[in-house]
Each structure stands twice: as structure tokens, then as C-alpha cells.
Amino acid sequence: MEDPPTPLSLRLRKGLGVAALALFGATLALTLTGFLLSYWQGRRLDAQFPPEGRFVDVDGVRLHYVETLPDGAARATVLLVHGASGNERDLRVPLAGPLAAQGLRVISIDRPGHGHSGRGREAPASPAAQARMLRAAMEALGAPRAIVVGHSLAGALASNLAIDHGDFVAGLVLLAPVTHPWPGGVAFYYRLTAAPVVGWLFSHALATPLGLLLLDEGVRSVFAPQAPPADYAARTGVALVLRPRAFLANAQDVDALYDFVTLQSPRMGEIVAPVAIVSGDRDEIVLTDIHSRGSARAIAGATLAILKGVGHSPHWSAPQASLDAILDVAQRAQRSALMAR
């Protein structure tokens, strides 16, 4: 028979119970505060960076796009596809105007779940699924064929369009692309954020306020070793990725990327469209040797420009090199079309 609890043990148990209850209450209060703060900050970001274009419906999903037109008849159409942690402004701001001035119709689009585009439910993180949606959107906009420009993560998506939708891709430009599996795979924090329940809670309670505190450092890492433009965040609305649903979508996209390129990279040699690749030799986000040089070796006739001292955003740090690559591909695509007649 056990001895009855002493007054001291009773006080300890009671104290532990009160402490546990207080800890639970504090955690609940912090979580609810995080939810409310994230909701408020998300609404504020939506108001600060509203849609600047129009919407097209693809299988019940509204995709946001911006169209930049030349003064006269367009000689070709260019589709700009942004990478991870971004939106359509990232490529449109430095590239669309100069391209339109060269007689090109330019369409920049928010990938599903990013910027002001809806997400969809059927394998929304798959680059192949997003590629199908973007092609359908382009066809709905009267662009059955286009020169596709993909940056970073969108290198996998753009390459998929060239592989599985070759009749749509007149030419392909890869800017600091992700196209091959890389050592170490996806960082653990992306996998954690993409995980069910835990990832949803983090994205909706903590990601927005914490992300806003770390935003400037994140932008600097993308441009390193160069400094980002002083007005980059204001011009591109990069903070839109910190809204809960966009943050979760971004983590899911990155989490799915490694397995996707592992399967797709052996097929890069199937690309027959004119291809140009532009990357920096100081890219600290994506390994230029693996992805850019690997793609150049795999794709017959691909041109490769490695820019000295440039990081992960060549379209900002060296916009003329990116523009030259797109215009070169447009010319090669036009010659190919004339030869095919």
C-alpha cells in the first residue's frame, strides 16, 4: 500500500499543473496572435502590391498575368516565368519594356499559388502541372507558341515545356536555372514547412512576421556578391511571398523540385528548340556548374553565357546579357521557322 501524498508533493504537483496550464495558455495566445498578425500583414501586402494585370481562368484557377505590347505588330511572343520566392514582377520589371521595344509581345505570369494567381488542387507543386497550366493560359490569350524564359526554379518548368510541349516552345532561355539534382537535396526547412499540419501552422502563424524581419537579408543573398538595387523590394513586391498561402505554396514547390529534376534531367537532350543559358559565376543559390553547364552539355546547339562576378539574378545584375540572349533566341527561332516552310 502506497503512502499518502505529503503536503509537499501535493504542492509540487499543483505547481507543475499550474505551470503546464500557464505554458499552454501562453503558447495558445502566441499562436493566435501570430495568426492575427499574419492575416493583417497579408492583407496589408495585398493592398501595397495589388494586381497590375488581368486574370485568365485555367481549369477553375485564376492566373494573374501582365501583357506588355510593342508599338506595332509583334514579331513573336515571350513568356516570362519567375522562380521561387517571387512573382511575375521579378522578370517583367527589368525585361518586359526593352523586349517590347524590340517588337516582342511579352506576357509575364504569376505561377500557380504565387503573386495573385490561384493555386489549384491537382499536384499543384509539380513543375509539369504548372507547365500545363501556363500553356493553357497562353493559348487562351491567343499565344499558341512562345519563347519561354525561366529563372531559377522555373528553369525546370520552362525545360518541361520544351520537352513535353515542344510544339508550344519556339525558343528557350534559362536564367540561373535549376535543371539537375544537386548535392544535399532540398534544405530541411523547406521540407518541414511543406509537411502537413506543421507546415500549415508555421506558414499561417509565424512565417509572415518572421519573414518580414529577414526579408532584406534574403534579398541580399540572392544578389550576392553584388548589392541589390535599393528599390528592388518596392518595385517587385517580393514580400508577397510572405503571405501565409504563398509561403506554403513556395515551400511545397521547392520541396517537390529535387525529385522532379532527378527524373527530368536525363531528358534534357530531347529539347530541340533554340536555347540560351545565362548564369553568374558567383551564384550562391544555384550551382552553375551542375545546372547551367550541365544543361549546355545536354542540349544540342545551346549557347552558354557565364557572367563574371554575377550572382543569382542575372536579369537584374546584368540585364543586357539577359536581353541579348532572349533576342538571339528569337532570331534563331525565326530562322528555324522560315527554314521549316
DSSP string over 167-223: TTEEEEEEES---S--TT-S-HHHHHHHSTTHHHHHHHHTHHHHHHHHHHHHHHHHH
- Of 248, 271, 267, the residue nearest 114 (C-alpha): 248
Question: Is the preceding peptide bond at 70 cis, omega within 30 degrees of 0?
Answer: no
Inside any domain, residue 26: no
Instruction: Tell me which DSSP letter residue 228 carries.
Output: P
Inside any domain, residue 114: yes
148: phi then psi, degrees, rounded to nearest 5: -100, 130
Q: Flag residues of the chain having pLDDT under 70.
A: 1-32, 34, 338-341
- The pLDDT, as a whole number, for residue 121 is 81
- The pLDDT, as a whole number, for residue 97 is 98
* Residue 189 to residue 187: CA distance in whole angstroms: 6
pTM of the model: 0.90
Inside any domain, residue 173: yes
- The pLDDT, as a whole number, for residue 112 is 97
Inside any domain, residue 29: no
- Which is it for strands 303-307 and 146-151: parallel, antiparallel or unpaired? unpaired
Contact 331, 274 (CB under 8 A): no
Q: Which three cell numbers stand for residue 306?
A: 557565364
Q: Which domain holds residue 275?
A: 48-340
- The pLDDT, as a whole number, for residue 122 is 77
Inside any domain, residue 227: yes
Inside any domain, residue 4: no
Inside any domain, residue 37: no
Please count the CA atoms within 13 angstroms of the CA of 77 that sit on its side-chain side: 16
The enclosing domain of 322 has a CATH number of 3.40.50.1820
Inside any domain, residue 162: yes
Task: For the beta carbon of residue 313, count every other beta carbon within 10 angstroms.
Answer: 30
Cell 510544339 sits on residue: 167
Number of domains in the chain: 1
Burial class of residue 117 (count of CB atoms within 10 Å of its CB; 0-12, 13-18, 19+): buried
- Of 49, 44, 42, 85, the residue nearest 64 (C-alpha): 49
